[in-house]
Chains A and B, each alone.
Chain A
Amino acid sequence: MFKVKRSALFLGLIVVGISMLLWAGWHNLRERKLAMQRAQQNRVELIPDKVAQSGQSTVEGEEPQLRGKAAPGFALTSLEGKKVSLSDYKGRPVLVNFWATWCGPCKVEMPWFEEFRKQYAGQGFEILGLADDVDAGKDVIAKVAHKTGVSYPILLTDGKVQTAYGGLEVLPMSFYVDKNGVVVEVTAGLGTKDEIEANIKKTIASGSSAGTPAKQVAAGGQ
């Protein structure tokens, strides 16, 4: 009799314990759902006012896993018809920027890039602008590039380079490649001018012990 009572008590304790576990799980789920809803509401509300303050696009998780890895190589044709490879710039910090003629945010940052290119030319810094929409035609791409005032090489993409850089579901998309050919930073969407400059400085500083910059600059270039 005592044994049966003890068993019933034991079972009761187990049921209570499991019930508490389930309740805790349900409560946790509910709290997380509410938190997600609040986060979602905040995200939508922030959009009109935070435009130029954040380089993050609305779609998260678009950046390919290239940070810290070797930048995929490419050999593309420039607007002038010249073959340009990423390997031509070995030993120099390079910003690989994907853009398109129909992309408003892209055209906002391009003049900033031009400014920084001149400012950091002494450190061998270069920019390669890769036009994503080659179907727009070379003339249109050249016209838009000219309008933004850029003088750095504009290259016509071949479809393969977009795939190599993660598919590019967002524009603008920038890959900051250091002297050693390693992707130091990846950004999707328009960032602030300060953020872009910080990334350029970081890229120039990265791998600086790899060699003598002056010598590398002389060896690089188109």
Chain B
Amino acid sequence: MRFGVVLAGLILGSGTLVAQMGSLDAPAAKPKQYVSFAAEPQTLKAGAKSVVELNFRVMDGFHVNSHTPKSELLIPTAVTMKPVDGVKVGAMEYPAGTSYSFSFDPSEKLDVYSGAFTVKLPVVAEAGQHTVDGVLKYQACDHAACYPPKSLPVQVVFTAK
């Protein structure tokens, strides 16, 4: 009887484990964002002109328009930050894009970000820890399709000493 109970328990347990392993077959959730933001605390000099770096990464296989795409129809990548007490924010500095063409239309040259890219935020901050919130707006495409414009919330935390 006791063996029966042990046996039933072990079989049920192993069955659950195998079922959990089987859940790997479930389809992966579709990505909601094609760009990720790496929040890295930074330290700056208080009262002096400094630069806060906002590090982004475009998912493999995708690209987004640069801040200065070559067509007015294209949606540029742009970051807007909310004003915060004790921090004076300058104009955002965007990296240059790289040239890209869809293979189905090699004649049209696009200016895009792919992989990692960094946007620089010039600031003059009072001493102390600061948190600045903002939004990255972008529009991504892959090799054969494009995706509606997205907004990615960003939060930068830095300490001015």
Contacts and interface: CB of A to CB of B under 8 A. Distances in A.
Interface stretch (A75-83, A119-127, A164-172, A212-220): A164-172
A59 B142 contact: yes
Interface in A155-175: 168-172
Interface stretch (A46-54, A89-97, A178-186): A46-54
Interface string A36-67: 10000001100111111011111111100000
A73 B142 CA distance: 30
A51 B146 CA distance: 13
Contacts, number: 118
Contacts of B141: 103-105
Q: Which of A11, A26, A59, A100 has the most CB of B within 10 A?
A: A59
B133 interface: no
A157 B21 CA distance: 44
B145 A105 contact: yes
B77 interface: no
Interface residues of A, number: 51
Given A58-B61, A140-B73, A10 B3 contact: yes
Contacts of B108: 104
A11 B102 contact: no
Interface in A81-121: 100-106, 108
Interface stretch (B22-30, B36-44, B85-93, B122-130): B22-30
Interface of B: 3, 6-7, 10-11, 14, 17-18, 21, 24-25, 27-28, 30-31, 60-62, 73-75, 102-105, 108, 110, 139, 141-149
In the A-B complex, the 7 residue pairs with the smallest Cβ-Cβ separation, listed nearest first, are: A189-B145, A57-B145, A51-B103, A58-B142, A189-B144, A103-B146, A52-B104
Interface of A: 7, 10-11, 14, 18, 21-22, 25-26, 28-29, 32-33, 36, 43-44, 47-52, 54-62, 100-106, 108, 132, 136, 140, 144, 168-172, 188-190
